[in-house]
Structure 1
Amino acid sequence: MGSGSVQPITKAKATGRISDPIFVGLLWASGIFVLILLGLIIAELFQGGLPALKHFGLDFIWSPAWNPVTENFGALVMIYGTLFSAIIAVVVALPLSFGIAFFLTEIAPQPLKRPIGVAVQLLAAVPSIIYGMWGFFVIVPLMAAYVQPPLIDTIGNLPVIGALFAGPPLGSGMFTAGLILAVMILPFITAMFVETLESVPPMLKESAYGIGATTYEVYKNVSVPYGKTAMVGAIMLGLGRALGETMAVTFVIGNATRMSASLFAPGATIASTIANEFPEAAIGSLKLTSLLQLGFILFVISFIVLALSRALVRSRLD
Structure 2
Amino acid sequence: MTVDMPRALKARLSRGDRVYRAVTATAAGTVLVTIVLITFFLLLAAVPAVQHAGWSFLTTTHWNPDSTPARFGIAAMMYGTIVTALIAMVVTVPVAIATAVFINEYAPRTLRGGLTTAIEVMAAIPSIIFAGWGLYVLIPFLQPIEQWAVDHLGKHVFLFQASAVGSSFFNVGLVISLMAIPITTSIVRAVLAQAPRHECEGALALGATRWGMVRTVILPFGRTGIIGASMLGLGRALGETMAATLIFSFAFEIKPRIFENGGVTIASGIALYFKESRELGLSALMAAGAALFLVTFVINILAAGVVGRAERAAAR
Task: Select between 229-238 and 165-174 the one with higher mean Cα deviation.
Answer: 165-174
- Note the 1:129-278 alignment, pairs <5 A: 129-144=128-143, 146-158=144-156, 162-265=157-260, 266-278=262-274
For residues 297-316 of structure 1, what are the structure 2 equivalents within 5 Å?
Answer: 297-316=291-310
- The answer on whether the counterparts of 1:205 and 1:223 sit within 8 Å (CA) in structure 2 is yes
- Kept in 2: contact 1:142–1:171 (CA 8 A): no
Tell me by how many angstroms 1:75 deviates: 0.5
Residue 9 of structure 2: aligned partner: none
For 1:20 and 1:221, how far apart are their aligned partners in 2? Answer: 41
Structure 2 counterpart of 1:5: none
- Return the letter of the residue paired with 1:231: I
- Whole-angstrom distance in 2 between the partners of 1:24 and 1:94: 36
Unaligned runs of 5+ in 2: 1-11
CA distance in structure 1 between the aligned counterparts of 2:128 and 2:293, rounded to whole angstroms? 22
Match of 1:76 in 2: 75
In structure 1, the partner of 2:7 is none
Name the TM-score, length of structure 1 as normaliser.
0.89
The aligned length equals 298
- What is the alpha-carbon distance in structure 1 between the residues aligned to residue 218 and residue 17 of structure 2? 42
Q: Alpha-carbon deviations, 1:39-89, whole Å to 9, x = none? A: 111111111111111111122012222235442100111111111101100
Please give the per-residue CA displacement for 1:140-168, whole angstroms capped at 9, x wherever unaligned: 22232x2211110122110xxx2211112
Equivalent residue number for residue 28 of structure 2: 31
Q: Please tell me the residue identity of whatever aligns with 2:309.
A: S
RMSD between aligned residues:
1.9
Correspondence for 1:7: none
Q: Residues 168-187 of structure 1: CA distance to partner in whole angstroms, max 9, x if unpaired?
A: 23311111111111110101
- Measured after TM superposition, the shift of residue 25 of structure 1 is 4.6
Which amino acid in structure 2 is aligned with residue 272 of structure 1?
Answer: S
CA contact (8 A) 1:124 1:188 kept: yes
Q: Is the 8 A contact 2:147 2:165 kept in 1?
A: no
Offset at residue 124 of structure 1 (A): 1.0
Q: Is the alpha carbon distance of 1:190 and 1:20 closer, same or farther for their aligned partners in structure 2, counting shifts above 3 Å?
A: closer
Q: Secondary structure at the match of 1:126?
A: coil
Q: String of CA shifts for 1:210-247, please: whole Å, max 9, x gaps.
A: 11111111111110001101111011110011111111
TM-score, length-scaled by structure 2: 0.89
Q: Is the alpha carbon distance of 1:119 and 1:22 closer, same or farther for their aligned partners in structure 2, counting shifts above 3 Å?
A: closer
* SS of corresponding position for 2:33: helix
Pair 1:50 & 2:47 matched: yes
Distance in 1 separating the partners of 2:301 and 2:148: 40
Structure having the larger proportion of residues in helix: 1
Is the 1:249–1:272 contact (alpha carbons within 8 Å) kept by the matching residues of 2? yes
Distance (Å, rounded) in 2 between the aligned partners of 1:23 and 1:94: 36
Point out where structure 1 has 5 or more consecutive residues left out of the alignment: 1-12
Q: CA separation in 2, counterparts of 1:20 and 1:114?
A: 34
Taking structure 1 as reference, are residues 261 and 194 closer, same or farther at Cα in structure 2, changes over 3 Å only? same
In the superposition, relative to structure 1, how do residues 198 and 20 fare at CA in structure 2: closer, same or farther (>3 Å)? closer
